[in-house]
Amino acid sequence: MQKSIFTLLILTFSLSALSQKISFFDKLMAKKLIGEGNELLYAGRTSEAMLTYESAKLKNPLSGEACYHLGVAEFYLRSFYNAHENAIAAEKLIQKKKNGEYYYYIGRIYHSVNEIDTAKYYYIRAQEKLGPRISKDYDLDILIKQCDFVQNEIKNKVKYICKPFSRAVNSKYDEYGAILIYDKQRLFFTARQPETTGNNINYGDQKFYEDIYRADWNTEKNNWEINTTDMEDYNTEGFDALNFISRNGNYGLLTINTSATIEKSTTSSEIYEFEADEEDSTWYIDPIKSESINTSYFEGSATISDTSFDEDETATQTMIFVSDRNSEKSLTDLYSVQRIDDKWGDAKPIMEINTTGRETTPFLSADGSFLFFSSDALPGMGGYDVYYCKWENNKWGSPVNMGAAINTVNDDTHFQYFPEYGIGTISTITDFDGYFSYDIFQFDLDALNFPFQK
What is residue 209's predicted lDDT score, i.e. its pLDDT? 85
Give the model confidence (pLDDT) of 361-381 as tens digits.
Answer: 999 999 999 999 999 999 899
pLDDT of 262 reads 83
Which domains, and CATH codes, for the chain? 20-155 (1.25.40.10), 163-453 (2.115.10)
Give the mean model confidence (pLDDT) for residues 404-418. Answer: 96
Contact indicator for 207, 218 with CB cutoff of 8 Å: no
**Average pLDDT of the residues in 432-450:** 87
Q: What is the mean pLDDT of residues 175-188?
A: 96
Using alpha carbons, select from 103, 54, 50 the residue that is nearest to residue 78. 50
Helix/strand number for the chain, H first, E second: 8, 25
Q: What is the pLDDT of residue 4?
A: 46
Q: Residue 19: which pLDDT band, with cuts at 50, 70 and 90?
A: low
Residue 401's pLDDT is 96
Tell me: pLDDT of 225 over 50. Answer: yes
pLDDT in tens, 257-290: 998 888 888 989 999 999 998 888 899 999 999 9
Query: 425 and 447 in contact (C-beta within 8 Å)?
Result: no
Maximum Cα interatomic distance, the chain, rounded to a whole number of Å: 87
Average pLDDT, the chain: 91
At residue 219, the pLDDT reads 95
What is the chain's length? 454
> Which residues, 6+ apart, have CB-to-CB distance to 88 below 8 Å?
none
- How does DSSP classify residue 420? T
Q: What is the pLDDT of residues 91-146, one digit of tens each?
A: 999 988 999 999 999 999 999 999 999 999 999 999 999 999 999 999 999 999 99
Helical axes 64-76 vs 46-59, angle rounded to 10°: 160
Cβ atoms of 293 and 301 closer than 8 Å: no
pTM over 0.85: yes
SS3 405: coil
Closest CA to 413 of 391, 395, 433, 386: 386
Q: Mean of the pLDDT values across residues 228-256?
A: 93
Beta bridge mates, 332: 358
Nearest 5°: phi and psi at 340? -115, 120
Average pLDDT over residues 159-178: 94
Note the pLDDT tens digit of each residue in 420-432: 999 999 999 998 7
Q: What is the pLDDT of residue 7?
A: 45
- The total of other beta-carbon atoms located within 10 Å of residue 89's CB is 20
Give the DSSP letter string of 287-353: E---TTTS-SS-EEEEEEPPPEE-TT--EEEEEEEEE-TTTTT-SBEEEEEEEETTEE---EE-TTT
pLDDT at 14 over 70: no
